[in-house]
Amino acid sequence: MYSEKVMDHFTNPRNVGEIEDASGVGTVGNAKCGDIMRIYLDIDEEGIIKDVKFKTFGCGAAVATSSMATELVKGKNINEALKITNKAVMDALDGLPPVKVHCSLLAEEAIHAALWDYAEKNSIVIEGLEKPK
Ligand code: FES
Ligand code: FES
């Protein structure tokens, strides 16, 4: 049912944890199942994401997509991070079963929420970023 990459990121998730004094923190919930994800971003003056950590209270697919999403945003600038969709995360994991696609949305939404938090804290506007629900 799950690809090898999903199993790898589920059993050995990357970047689990918290960042103290993070530049931006985003917490989102999945309305379909009640699961929760929080992402911490450490962003430098040039707008490069130096570090990223996550905590997920959710299913295996949510853990695997969070883990892969953190790998994809690390080292990127804000605009590149904004373009990392749940589809890109799923592709990087060699796909998810259809019933688990909604789980991958958590990671994308949590990254956007953390970027929004960062923008608010620094009184900047990030083009193309919508206010999290
Ligand atoms: Fe909550 Fe998937 S339904 S873990
Ligand atoms: Fe709840 Fe996957 S995030 S079922």
What counts of helices (H) and strands (E) characterise the chain? 5, 3
| Residue 44 resides in a domain | yes
**Residue 127 resides in a domain:** no
- pLDDT tens-place string over residues 85-125: 999 999 999 999 999 999 999 999 999 999 999 999 999 99
What is the CATH classification number for the domain harbouring 67? Answer: 3.90.1010.10
36 lines ligand 1 (CB under 6 A): no
Q: Provide the domain count of the chain.
A: 1
Ligand 1 atom index nearest CA of 59: 4
Please tell me the pTM assigned to this model. Answer: 0.93
Q: Is residue 28 part of a domain?
A: yes
**Which of 77, 60, 63 has the alpha carbon at shortest distance from 23?**
77
Cβ proximity of 30 and 65 under 8 Å: no
Domain assignment present for 126: no
Q: Are 29 and 36 in contact (CB under 8 A)?
A: yes
Q: Range of 102's domain? A: 4-121
Longest Cα–Cα distance in the chain: 45
Does the residue 12 lie in any domain? yes
For 12-58, what is each residue's pLDDT tens digit?
999 999 999 999 999 999 877 889 999 999 999 999 999 999 999 99
What ipTM is given for this predicted complex?
A: 0.73
